[in-house]
Structures are given as C-alpha cells and as structure tokens.
Structure 1
C-alpha cells in the first residue's frame, strides 16, 4: 500500500495523512489516531528517506549499550528495551543501538548525536557524577535519563524509581519482624541505583540501632550464579544473616537455591525480600515459597521514556520532565519473624 491508497482508504488528502504521520501540530489528535490505526491495520510503511527530507527527522531513538569482556548480558535491560519498543512501534520509530566500551560512552553518545541518525537519546546505567549528563546538556538533542546520577545537580529530564525508599521500607519491615542480622545482595557498586538501595537499607537499620556488616554485602552483576555464591558465603559466616535483601528476583533465584541446599526453610529460618522488575519469566509469586518484593515494572518504565521522547520530538503532548516512581511493597510468604534466639 502506498500513500495515495492509504489516503483514499481514510477519505483524507495525501497531505493530511503525511502531516499526521510526521507529527505536524495542525493535525488534530483524533485524525492522527485514525491514521496511525490504519497504518497498523494495513501494514503501510512510509518512505523513510522522503520522510526525513520532509521533516528533518530520522524517526529514531538512540541508545548506547555498554559492552566489554566481563560484562554479562542483562535480562533487566532486555525487559526495559521491550517497553521502549512497545511505544516506539505505535509511532513507527526505530532504535539505533550503538555498542560501546563503558570507558568510551561519553564519546560514543557524542558521535551518535553528531551522526544525525537519531532524534533523541536515552541514557541508562547511571553512575555517580555521570559525565554523560553534562555532555548531553551542551547539545540540542533531546534526552531522558533512566535513573538519576549522584553528586550532580538534578536539572535534567529523568525517570527513576525511589530506590532509597524501596529498600528502606523493605529493611524496616524485616527489622520490625525482629531480625537483627542482615545481608544485602546488590547490583554493581558503581551504579547509582545500587548506591541508593544500600543507603535505604543502612538508614532503616540505623533507626533500629542495627548495622549492615560489610561481610554481609555483595555487589555484583545481577545473575542467578552471583546470588547463589554470595548466599553460600553468607550462610557460612559465624553469625549468618536471618534477613536478606536482593536487588533483583534473578539474584534471589540463586540465593533461594543456596538457602534450600543448606536445609533452611525460607520464611521461617531466614527471610528474604527482593526487588521485582516484573520480569515475565521470573514471577515472585511462582517461587516455591512466594517472595515478598518491592515492585516496579521495567517494561512500564521503558514505555514511559519512549512516550516522553517521542512526544517531545513530535510535539504531540506535554509530559513531566522529571518523574520519581514509588514502589509497591508486596508481602508474601518469604518473610516471617526472626528465629528464636537469633
């Protein structure tokens, strides 16, 4: 199907259909939606070269993916990209994914913007004093940060979850259940979300006169194997933890495996709370002992960031520039009172 046939099907002029597809503000929202619905139903695809000449836009969102020896594949990032894709597909936007060594991400972002192949960029894997933010603020290309850096002014567009509050609430619940010995299975120590989750945990314990021992903290990639090995080590300590916080259900999967192999009963001998990114292949309610979790959907975050970027590019709606989402604390069977005498 070509543009002429699509316009005849809709009873609209070719100019109106083209302007609707290209985000011109004079096309009302109802007409634009009719056009987009017809595009999905018919499989019509505009000539992207002609579209770019007409609008000056590439129709693409850019992202830089860190990759190097020792960096493992990340199911969490895949789920976030699925959310981005859900929203991008609605507006016929593409992705331009540029792999980069972590030490070269600033230069890679700059090159990607300079290429003209993207209309906007999103930044992920925020670090303390992340240099990418200052660089992007000097450019004209729109961007949104997934997360927030630490140690720099928060004067940039972002979407983040309240990581500090989530782990504060989780640790406080366990302390209120009488637990005194805690462990934290966290993400890499250079990432801002990990720093905030540890901060929330430490704050909640301090209010109860407790401390988070350094020998009970593990920073690593969030994989099943890392969760298993760390939990094995914690359980061999002279004073093992009775309460465990995990930054991911993937880490929790390994931790639970170690707990089971040690002959301990989850929710009785040891309690565990994990952060649930709502990964479709790993539902906390489907564990043998359902997991208590702090919950926030990575897919929903991806959808929201794509919507914000595309809305800014096409100027079709005004959305908040800074969003901090609260997490839900969902109590299930993996948490219970501290064992007597511990």
Structure 2
C-alpha cells in the first residue's frame, strides 16, 4: 500500500495523512491516532528517505558502541535493548544506524555524525563514571538519551537507568537473611557507572549488618564466563571461602556455577548464587522454574522506554532533560538456600 491508497481508504488528503504520520502539530490527536491505526492495520510503511526530504530529518537513530580492550559492549544485553527499541523506531518510520568505534576515537565519530546529519538522535551506551560523551553531545546540540547514568556528571541530561544500587542492596540483604556472612561479589568493571552503583549497594547492606566488606571477596572485571569461573575459583580456594556469590551478569554467573560444580559442590545447597540481568531473549534463566535467583530488569523494556524518550526529544527540541529510573524485581530460583552450618 502506498500513501495515495492509504489516503483514499481514510477519505483524507495525502498531505493530511503525511503530516499525521510525521508528527506535525497542526494535525489533531484524533486524526493522528486514526491514521496511525489504519497504517498499522493495512501494513503501510512510509518511505524513510521520502520522509527525510519532506521534514528535513534523517529518520534514523544512532547507536555508537565503543570497541575497547577494557570492556565489550557488543553482547546479548545490547541485542535485547535494540530489539526493544526497534519496534518503536519502525512504527515512527526511523531506521537504526549502528557504529562500532574505538573508544579513543569516539569524539571524532560523534562530530562526524553531527556534520553528516545522518541521524536525528543518539542512544549512549555503557556510561562511565565521568563520561565525556555527555558534554560533547550537549555541545553538539544533538538529542540523546543515556542508557545508564554517569555519577560524576552533574549537569542535567536525559537518561534511563535501572536502580542498580537498590537491586544489589536488596539481593545482599536476601543472602544475609539466609544466614550468609561471607559473600563474594563478582562485579563488572567499576569505572562503569552501573558496576560502581552495584558495589555501593552491596557494601551498604554489609555495613548495615555490622559486617566489614572484605576486599578478598570482591572482584571487578569484564563479565565473561571465564571471568566468572576464575573469580569464583580463586575465592573458593581461600582459607575462608564465601558461602554465597552476588554476580553482575548471567554470563559470569554461568562461570561461577562451573567453579562450584568443579569442586563437587551443589549450587543452592553448598554455595548460593544471585545474578543480575537474567531476562535475556537468547539466554533464558530456566523454563518453568528459574535456575538462578536474580535481580531482574527487562532490557527490552529499557530499550523501548529509551526510544520513546528520544522520540519526544527529537519531536520537541524545547523539552527539558527526561529521566526514568526502573526498579529491578528479585526472582527466586533454585540457586540460593540457607548458609551451610
């Protein structure tokens, strides 16, 4: 179906239908909703290039991923995030532009994108504690939303984040309530903001129970399966091994489970494990009963909500910065139990 056929079906002029689909303010919300509903029902997809010529927009959203020897953003979490955002982009006639850039060349990449004008807005991934990209995008006057936050940036900016501090405080309290007193933390790289907040929540829960955080039971690194295995193996080899682990990702938690099993121990009985980010499309946490107890926050939902925020910022450049803090659920699985006597 083309624009002319959709217009005839609705009994509206092609100009009105085009303006409704492109978000022009002079079109009433009733008409806009009617046009969008018919377009979706009849399978009409506006041509992004034609829309761009008509509106002066690129009709594209940029996702720039830093490629680094220190941390890797191309993982199942990013895939789920984009999956959540892509449906909304498509509904609004936007395409996705994904660029992989060496982290030392990020500034040049952002400036080049602004100069080319090939995207209307950007989602910033993997914010660091003091993330220079935020100030740069503000300088470039480019609409953007940060997936996460940057603790050391104090100027207002748009972000969507999970309450990592509360999630890890709650998970640690859960293990403490089960009687665990030696809990190993297998965290992400702590110059990344999410990992910094998770460690703070973990330590706060310990201190509230009169327990001093033990550096020997804390690790920070790239969240791979091998990292999870090596971290847990080293801690379990100590003179006073942990009876439980709190892990920052499902992938690393699988490595922790391998280290436990290699010692002939049973996860959930001999050693408990809680992980984060278990709600991933390509890495399911069991089928009927969760394998891991987990602090769960849907990455797909985060992608959809961040896309909604960015669409609003693109449509109305006068909007103030938008923020959205998601809370994680605690899902009880078979990987946790009382501390062994």
TM-score, scaled relative to structure 2: 0.92
1-structure distance, mates of 2:215, 2:36: 54
Task: Sort the Cα spacing of 1:90 and 1:15 in 2 relative to 1 into closer, same or farther, 3 A.
Answer: same
1:113 aligns with 2:118: no
Q: Which runs of 5+ in 1 are unaligned?
A: none
Q: In structure 2, the residue corresponding to 1:312 is in which secondary structure?
A: helix
2-structure distance, mates of 1:288, 1:26: 52
Task: Sort the Cα spacing of 1:257 and 1:197 in 2 relative to 1 into closer, same or farther, 3 A.
Answer: same
1:16 aligns with 2:16: yes
2-structure distance, mates of 1:154, 1:274: 32
Q: Which residue of 1 aligns with 2:190?
A: 189
How much has 1:285 moved relative to structure 2? 4.1
Q: Which residue of 2 aligns with 1:281?
A: 282
How much has 1:183 moved relative to structure 2? 0.7
How much has 1:145 moved relative to structure 2? 0.9
Contact 2:184–2:218 (Cα < 8 Å) also in 1 = yes
Q: In structure 1, the residue corresponding to 2:160 is in which secondary structure?
A: strand
Q: Which residue of 2 aligns with 1:51?
A: 51
Pick which of 3-12 and 29-38 moved more.
Answer: 29-38
Q: In structure 1, the residue corresponding to 2:140 is in which secondary structure?
A: coil
2-structure distance, mates of 1:24, 1:221: 45
1-structure distance, mates of 2:261, 2:217: 19
Q: Which residue of 1 aligns with 2:31?
A: 31
2-structure distance, mates of 1:16, 1:277: 45
Q: Which residue of 1 aligns with 2:299?
A: 298
Q: Which residue of 2 aligns with 1:218?
A: 219
Q: Which residue of 2 aligns with 1:243?
A: 244
Pick which of 211-220 and 73-82 moved more.
Answer: 211-220
Task: Sort the Cα spacing of 1:266 and 1:118 in 2 relative to 1 into closer, same or farther, 3 A.
Answer: same
Q: In structure 2, the residue corresponding to 1:284 is in which secondary structure?
A: coil
1-structure distance, mates of 2:191, 2:288: 30
Deviations 1:69-123 (A, max 9, x none): 5755411111111111121111121112222111222332222122211111111
1-structure distance, mates of 2:53, 2:322: 29
1-structure distance, mates of 2:316, 2:6: 24
Contact 2:275–2:292 (Cα < 8 Å) also in 1 = yes
Q: In structure 2, the residue corresponding to 1:16 is in which secondary structure?
A: helix
Q: Which residue of 1 aligns with 2:323?
A: 322
Q: Which residue of 2 aligns with 1:94?
A: 95
Q: CA RMSD in A?
A: 2.3
Q: How does 1:305-316 map to 2 (within 5 A)?
A: 305-315=306-316
2-structure distance, mates of 1:98, 1:110: 13
2-structure distance, mates of 1:205, 1:106: 40
1:104 aligns with 2:105: yes
TM-score, scaled relative to structure 1: 0.92
Pick which of 26-35 and 156-165 moved more.
Answer: 26-35
1:76 aligns with 2:77: yes
1:256 aligns with 2:291: no
Q: In structure 1, the residue corresponding to 2:309 is in which secondary structure?
A: helix
2-structure distance, mates of 1:160, 1:254: 26
